[in-house]
């Protein structure tokens, strides 16, 4: 772009020098008009290229400002996400500790505790068996032991026992 602008300016300057030289030496009117036309075309081309160059520079600046704005938003979003992760981790640790305390009150074995956690995550008995590397019958027996020790009727009661209060709107939790 700059090279083309420089070319137009050079053409106009050289043609103008030729016009000035021809004025001293004398030439025909048609030749002078032709050289003046070359000067005008060169200047018009340079002006057009200059306008395009200014437009490109403005768009580049606007794009740069937009990129900076987006980078700032991304930085802010990353900070928010990090803050949320920290906050959520603290809450999840607290929830995990509360689950551990309740499982201890129910006197669950380590295997029963694992089964209870997997059931709370929504896994089926078959999936629990696959994750733990036991048969599906063993997973069912351990799940029944969890329900019996917790005084629960099944997996829905297990989930409700731990999650019911989490589903209430903020103003209803006391």
* Mean pLDDT over each residue of the chain, to the nearest integer: 88
**Which residues form the domain of 15?**
1-74
| 3-state secondary structure string across the chain | CHHHHHHHHHHHHHHHHHHHHHHHHCCCHHHHHHHHHHHHHHHHHHHHHHHHHHHHHHHHHHHHHHHHHHHHHHHHHHHHHHHHHHHHHHHHHHHHHHHHHHHHHCCCCHHHHHHHHHHHCCCCHHHHHHHHCCCHHHHHHHHHHHHHHHCCCCHHHHHHHHHHHHHCCHHHCC
Can you tell me the mean pLDDT for 86-110? 89
Could you tell me if residue 88 is inside a domain?
no
Whether 174 shows a pLDDT value over 90: the answer reads no
- Rounded CA-CA distance 108/124 in Å is 19
Could you tell me if residue 63 is inside a domain?
yes
Could you tell me if residue 92 is inside a domain?
no
Residues 66 and 7 in one domain: yes
Whether 79 shows a pLDDT value over 60: the answer reads yes
Could you tell me if residue 46 is inside a domain?
yes
Question: pTM score > 0.85 for this model?
Answer: no
Could you tell me if residue 89 is inside a domain?
no
Residues 70 and 5 in one domain: yes
Domain at 138, CATH number: 1.10.10.10
Residues 69 and 9 in one domain: yes
Number of domains into which the chain is organized:
2
């Amino acid at each position: 772009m700059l090279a083309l602008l420089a070319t137009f300016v050079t053409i106009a300057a050289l043609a103008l020098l030729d016009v000035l030289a021809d004025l001293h030496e004398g030439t025909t009117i048609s030749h002078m008009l032709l050289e003046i036309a070359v000067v005008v075309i060169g200047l018009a081309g340079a002006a057009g290229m200059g306008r395009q160059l200014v437009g490109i520079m403005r768009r580049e600046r606007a794009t740069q400002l937009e990129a900076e704005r987006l980078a700032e938003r991304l930085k802010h979003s990353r900070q928010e996400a990090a803050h949320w992760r920290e906050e959520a981790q603290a809450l999840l640790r607290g929830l995990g500790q509360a689950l551990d305390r309740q499982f201890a009150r129910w006197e669950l074995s380590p295997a029963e505790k694992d089964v209870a956690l997997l059931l709370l995550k929504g896994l089926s008995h078959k999936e629990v068996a696959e994750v733990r590397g036991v048969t599906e019958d063993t997973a069912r027996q351990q799940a029944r032991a969890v329900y019996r020790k917790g005084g629960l009727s099944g997996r829905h009661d297990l989930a409700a026992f731990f999650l019911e209060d989490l589903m209430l709107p903020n103003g209803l939790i006391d």
